[in-house]
Amino acid sequence: MTHETEWTAFFNDHATIYETNCFTKNTMAEVDFLVEELHLTPDQSILDLGCGTGRHAIELARRGFRVTGLDVSPGMLTEARRNAKAAGVDVTWIEANACDFSVETSFDAVIGLCEGGLGLLGTGDDPIGQPQAILANVAQALKPNAMCLFTVLNAHALIRRRTQDDVVTGEFDPVALAERSECIVPDAPGPTVLRERAFVPTEIVLLFAQAGLEVLHIWGGTAGNWGRRPIDLDEIEFM
């Protein structure tokens, strides 16, 4: 995967309004959940993949954790640095693609929320190779027996809302479990095509196992409704 992708351009353009999205409004409760489920204690180190504008990373830093936020979008990281300065906290920010990053240290936990890169496919990305690459990097970044938590798009919901017409038009690829959309990005020669890939739980278990990681739980994970509960077939994400 190249560093510069369609998603980089999209998030650069979206960065200044990202936190107006409805799914960004539950940061405090989400961080409470992370601290409890990952058994985190202050001063531990956490890597936030696809950190965006830094809302989870900054709140974790407020609580005494040593946080590194990684994102492919320089625009999102500009907002993250601004937000961290306003909050009076120190976070290490890294501009990198989750598929090919490397870090010099290992972490007590890794998080990848609101997809965290998993399933955000560039034009030439393989729908299996892309998550494999990210999870291999996660495995390398974790200390022995350390934990991670991800939320990914729920393929059950994707399939239930798509039709055969969507397959014919190319809006939905049932082999890759990916949907295609277009958006207008300033200075682009035409519409930017985005590919977003969903997962089924059994597939996630296999992908994690290939990276040497064990899945302990699979729960409903839609923003604003995280919990130790079964997946709702129509919810956007699972955990």
Residue with tokens 């929320």: 113
Residue 128 carries which side chain, given as an amino acid letter? I
Residue with tokens 């699972």: 238
CA atoms within 13 A on the CB side of 112: 25
Give the integer Cα–Cα distance in Å for 43 and 56. Answer: 16
For the whole model, what pTM was predicted?
0.94
pLDDT above 90 for 211 = yes
pLDDT digits (tens, 9 = 90+) for 9-58: 899 998 998 888 888 888 999 999 999 999 999 999 999 999 999 999 99
Residue 18 carries which side chain, given as an amino acid letter? Y
Closest CA to 146 of 111, 96, 94: 111
- Residue 64 near residue 108 (C-beta atoms within 8 A): no
